[in-house]
Amino acid sequence: KPKHIAIYGKGGIGKSTTTSNISAALADAGFRVIQIGCDPKSDSTNILRGGDDLPTVLDSLRERGRPSIADVSATGFAGVLCIEAGGPVPGVGCAGRGINAAVDLLHELELFEQFKPDFVLYDVLGDVVCGGFAVPIRNGIADSAYVVTSSDFMAIFAANNLFKAISKYAPSGGARLGGVIANSIQTPYAASLIDDFAARTGTSVVGYVPRSQVVAQSELYGKTVIEAQPRSAQADVYRALARHIAENHESTVPKPLNGPALKAWARDWGDRVFGVEAGIVAPQEAI
């Protein structure tokens, strides 16, 4: 039975980069992998395919009525099957519709029966987990969800919102949380901050991905690090993360913090690292 995994996170936090490197690592290790981009940006799988855009499911539905699997997919690095759900025409309609329509179509076309994947990865925008974006975790599409976050407050805020959505839908058969992926780590405190957030919300960190020039350089060639720089330390990080996720059995219903508690927690961290306690900014000087 394939493992269906949704990877959420704030826009620009590194979901597509991380997901694509996990897919590449799993496929390179011999697994059959499908990656489905569920972000209206529709560039989830670009670095698996030389950097080019792929016709989206939603665009194909608009233009052709009922597309075939071949119309809306392409084979990327190491055989990863790449699909982009697509999004609404900007300014019109609901972004979540693309995800719904795409997943419905893929089931109708019996993609999973035919391709027989070991892993299906959904790369989902998580700034707002509205009803549309909650589709992969809401009704049994994904078994587990992960969230990519950095130590920035807005990324943690988005992660906490995902936890709210998971805790809402998990009791009625929704996905549970596999853990947190810490991305763009540059300082020890960033890793500690994310550890602390995970601990307080009842989950754990499954991997720490350093901020690395190797990622940017590989992206300029339209490639994952796994493909472009397989012997780099960064590739080792992604392979370890992929292995961890493949073997992970953690499945929790997280305990999100409420708004004021999250802010107070973030302020404490800020004070400890940059502010009052660190002696850098005394409260009166800050005014």
Q: Which of 3, 123, 127, 223 is catalytic?
A: 127
150's contact among Mg ion, ligand ADP, none, with CB below 5 to 8 A by partner kind, is none
Q: Which of 3, 6, 7, 17 binds ligand ADP (CB under 6 A)?
A: 17
Q: Which is nearer to ligand ADP, 125 or 134 (CB)?
A: 125
Q: Which is nearer to Mg ion, 137 or 193 (CB)?
A: 137
DSSP string, 208-267: EEE--HHHHHHHHTT--HHHH-TTSHHHHHHHHHHHHHHH----B---PPPHHHHHHHHH
> Does residue 11 interact with ligand ADP by CB under 6 A?
yes
> Does residue 162 interact with ligand ADP by CB under 6 A?
no
Task: Tell me how far apart the alpha carbons of residues 186 and 142 are, in angstroms, rounded to a whole number.
Answer: 31
> Does residue 16 interact with ligand ADP by CB under 6 A?
yes
Which 16-75 residues touch Mg ion, going by CB under 5 A? 16, 39
Tell me how far, at minimum, the Cβ of 107 lies from Mg ion, in Å.
23
Long-range CB pairs of 163-171 (<8 Å, 24+ gap) are 163/201, 163/203, 163/254, 163/255, 163/256, 164/129, 164/256, 165/129, 165/134, 165/137, 165/138, 166/137, 166/253, 166/254, 167/253, 167/254, 167/255, 167/256, 169/134, 169/137, 169/138, 170/253, 171/253
Task: Tell me how far apart the alpha carbons of residues 189 and 271 are, in angstroms, rounded to a whole number.
Answer: 12
Q: Which is nearer to Mg ion, 16 or 234 (CB)?
A: 16
What φ, ψ does residue 177 adopt, rounded to 5°? -90, 130
DSSP string, 67-104: --TGGGEEE-GGG-EEEE---PSTTSS-THHHHHHHHH
Tell me how far, at minimum, the Cβ of 277 lies from ligand ADP, in Å.
29
96's contact among Mg ion, ligand ADP, none, with CB below 5 to 8 A by partner kind, is none
Task: Give the per-residue contact string, 173-212, with ligand ADP (x = CB under 6 A; - = no).
Answer: ----------xx------------------------x-xx
Binding range to ligand ADP, per CB under 6 A, among 12-20, 86-94, 101-109, 162-170: 12-20
Task: Tell me how far apart the alpha carbons of residues 77 and 20 are, in angstroms, rounded to a whole number.
Answer: 10
> Does residue 183 interact with Mg ion by CB under 5 A?
no
In the residue annotation, 10 being an active-site residue is answered as yes
In the residue annotation, 41 being an active-site residue is answered as yes
Tell me how far, at minimum, the Cβ of 40 lies from ligand ADP, in Å.
11
Task: Tell me how far apart the alpha carbons of residues 218 and 148 are, in angstroms, rounded to a whole number.
Answer: 20
* Contact (CB, 8 A) for 76 and 49: yes
Task: Tell me how far apart the alpha carbons of residues 74 and 258 are, in angstroms, rounded to a whole number.
Answer: 42
Binding range to ligand ADP, per CB under 6 A, among 9-17, 65-73, 87-95, 198-206: 9-17
Q: Which of 41, 71, 143, 271 is catalytic?
A: 41
> Does residue 144 interact with Mg ion by CB under 5 A?
no
Residues annotated as part of the active site: 10, 15, 41, 127
Contacts with ligand ADP, residue ranges (CB under 6 A): 9, 11-17, 183-184, 209, 211-212, 215-216, 219
Contacts with Mg ion, residue ranges (CB under 5 A): 15-16, 39
